[in-house]
Amino acid sequence: MQYPEPIERLIDSYMKLPGIGEKTATRLAFFTIDMDQDDVAAFASSLTAAKTQLHYCSVCGNITDDDPCSICTDTSRDQTKILVVEQVKDVMSIDRMDEYHGLYHVLHGVMSPLEGTGPEDLNIASLLHRLQDNDAVNEVIVATNATPEGEATAMYLARLIKPAGIRVTRLAHGLAVGSDIEYADQMTLMKAVEGRTEI
């Protein structure tokens, strides 16, 4: 038996989300159908607003509805440090622990020759421009994931930045090798930031 076309389309839409298989997508589709009409309209509106109203900060690459983002314009933050992460969600994970109060820079990925991702595909050029334009920065903390690609990206950044006389540090390996910052608990992240080492 085949579902009516609107349900099939809804199931297909849910299956495009990461980690959602056909069974889960089917459950979500029928849950959506049972939702109140106002809740469905609000859900659809939230999806559209997130896609149309958000963009990347022209300074740091974080996701924002204002440009520059609220972190870049916050003068109470430590302007001498920039913490470099792979993805936007890593900014949220680290900032949530309320231990680091400097600036951020989002690379939007890591170097991966197997996937055809090189330095030119990452948000590295704008980081170098930031460092040239801001004499106050004296430390760049590289917080890429503890994967071979994350390590290679960290070493590449260190080779680019260190000749400018800026200290380059790396998060301590309190994070398990192969793990993502997004899934680390706050204590692990705090220890990793505290125990960062120079590279």
Tens of pLDDT, residues 111-170: 998 999 999 999 999 999 999 988 899 999 999 998 889 999 999 999 999 999 999 999
Tens of pLDDT, residues 55-74: 999 999 999 999 999 999 99
Between the alpha carbon of residue 62 and those of residues 15, 34, 72, 92, the distances in Å are 27, 36, 9, 10
pLDDT at 7: 95
Q: Which fold has domain 5-53?
A: Helicase, Ruva Protein; domain 3 (1.10.8)
Tens of pLDDT, residues 34-52: 999 999 999 999 999 999 9
CATH architecture assignment, domain 63-198: 3-Layer(aba) Sandwich (3.40)
How much is the average pLDDT of 73-97?
95
Place of tokens 């680019």: 160
Which strand (E) or helix (H) includes residue 156? helix 148-161
pLDDT at 122: 97
Measure the CA–CA gap between 178 and 28, rounded to whole angstroms: 31
Q: Where are the domains of the chain?
A: 5-53, 63-198
pLDDT at 174: 67
pLDDT at 73: 96
Give the pTM.
0.80
